[in-house]
Amino acid sequence: MRRFFQTRTAFEPSPFRKLISYILLAAWTFVALFPFYWLIITGFKTRGDIDGNPKYVPFVDFKPTLDAWNRILGQVELQVIRPYGNTVIVAILSALLALTLGSMASYALTRFEYRPKPALVGLFILCVAGILALMVLGLPWYIATLIMGAVYLMLVLTIGKRFKGRMTNNDIGFWLVSQRMLPPIAVILPIYIMFQQLRLLNTLPGLILVYTATNLPLVIWFMRDYFTSLPIELEECAFIDGANRYQTLIRVVLPLAIPGLVAVFLIVLVFAWNEYTVALFLTGGDTQTMPLLVAGQNATRGPQWDNISVLVTLMVGPIVAIALILERFIVRGLLVGAVKG
């Protein structure tokens, strides 16, 4: 009996501790998975079963039915195919675009030293604001861009040399990730006005552009730590063998960074897949995404829980499948860089 409570080594807990750990893990697994179970079985209930007393076990508490599935997939009025296709296109393309641009930026921040002047960055931001102001006043976007570009160039050449102070790579990285601090509702009105002038409202390219810009700081922040963990000696060996910077990046760095790229891609994909606020303001009937369709099931008669369950199951299914397929890459990508030194 004493062996049941004794610990053999520091890395092997006692049987009693193992039992307690398994009980706690089983309880937490139940807490984590029960919402998904409830979501799935709700899609197979009638509305009478949903509105009545809770029913937990199919074929025991209630008789499963495909009424909700037939109603969602069979009725043309709900137009599930178009929002689902829009979600797939926007989420995948924006995630790939953010991953591509963010990986290049994060690699540059880990391998090159940048020391820009903060005042010049501030001037650039003011010129961008000037472009938006001119567009609101009625000027075409290309004319506004040319005017403010000339103003910025003139200011840089005249007073730019007098500015003091330098930013480091750490400052640039923090400034990039700080773009995620503002809630979407705080910036959606300027984006709406700008897209109205650029005729990007109710278009998939406009939504892809916003999602890419929104998720780009996250990709840069995550991939910067990952590239830092890769040994720079491997790149130096490639340089000795005659490879240039781009060949080294494509043939040496990116193959080693596949776990991190996959993990970050899935994180960004989930953000774009489930985004609601931006899509609510920038899309219309032709570019509606699945989160808007799910929210639209809250009709005058109250939430249609059976329809919502079916739609959410259709949304969650592909993400779970992708996570299971890429599990080994995700685990490696999240762990690399956790220990430094």
pLDDT tens track for 177-201: 888 888 888 889 889 988 888 889 9
The Cα-based distances of 89 to 166, 192, 254, 263, 322 in angstroms read: 41, 21, 25, 19, 16
**Which CATH code is given to the segment(s) 82-113+202-335?**
1.10.3720.10
Full pLDDT tens readout for the chain, 341 residues: 677 777 777 677 777 888 899 999 999 999 999 999 999 999 999 988 988 888 899 988 899 999 888 888 876 555 788 999 999 999 999 999 999 999 999 999 998 888 888 888 889 989 988 988 888 888 888 899 999 999 999 988 888 778 888 888 888 888 888 888 888 888 898 899 888 888 899 999 999 999 999 999 999 988 988 898 888 888 999 999 898 888 898 888 988 888 889 889 999 999 999 999 999 999 988 899 999 999 888 876 778 888 899 999 999 999 988 888 887 777 665 555 444 44
- For residue 205, what pLDDT is reported? 95
Are the CB atoms for 308 and 38 separated by under 8 Å? no
Q: How far apart are CA 293 and CA 63, in angstroms?
A: 27
- For residue 78, what pLDDT is reported? 56
Domain limits of the chain? 82-113+202-335
- For residue 37, what pLDDT is reported? 94
CB atoms within 10 A of CB 55: 16
- For residue 341, what pLDDT is reported? 44
The model carries a pTM of 0.83
Provide the β-strand partners of residue 298.
Answer: 303
- For residue 288, what pLDDT is reported? 92
- For residue 322, what pLDDT is reported? 87
- For residue 339, what pLDDT is reported? 45
Q: How far apart are CA 88 and CA 266, in angstroms?
A: 13
> Measuring CA to CA, which residue among 2, 29, 4 is closest to residue 19?
4
- For residue 173, what pLDDT is reported? 83
Q: How far apart are the first and last CA of the chain?
A: 43
> Measuring CA to CA, which residue among 322, 296, 291, 269 is closest to residue 92?
269
